[in-house]
Amino acid sequence: MIVERVEPEREMVRRVVPYVAPALAAALGVGAAAGGWDAGWSAALGVGVVALNFVANGLSVAWAARISPTLLFGVAMGGFVVRLGAIVIAMVLLDRLAWFSPLAFAAAVVPATILLLVYEAKLLSGRMQGDLWAFGSGAREARR
């Protein structure tokens, strides 16, 4: 049996998205308790940026995997640099706002990223194999 559309990245996004709202609320609460509402909103923005980064990565890699292995590699590697740059640019632009706290933002981004990576590793543990991806022409040729 040949599976034409296997997208583990989309499945990971589907599994993570329900945790985003509680994580935002937790960041807001912890940030507000530690440094006031400005810090709370900055921390929540940090968690939101991490979540958007993860979703952008998952969807872009899933899209590229449908096209070709070369594009998958390019999107995975180049996308990392682009998304990391976007986080830095967001932090620089947000720093111009009077209420924004770069410390709270960074203090939320780092643990949120670590928790997300641990969760991702747990989801993929023992299940990530090269044959999980179906590349366009390969799937069609295998059916013949």
Instruction: Work out the mean pLDDT of the chain and round it to a whole number.
Output: 84
Q: Kindly compute the dihedral angle of the four CA atoms of residues 109, 114, 116, 119, in this order, to the nearest 10 degrees.
A: -160
Q: How far is it, in rounded angstroms, from Cα 91 to Cα 45? A: 10
How much is the pTM? 0.78
Per-residue model confidence as pLDDT tens digits over 71-113: 989 998 998 899 889 888 988 999 999 999 999 999 999 999 9
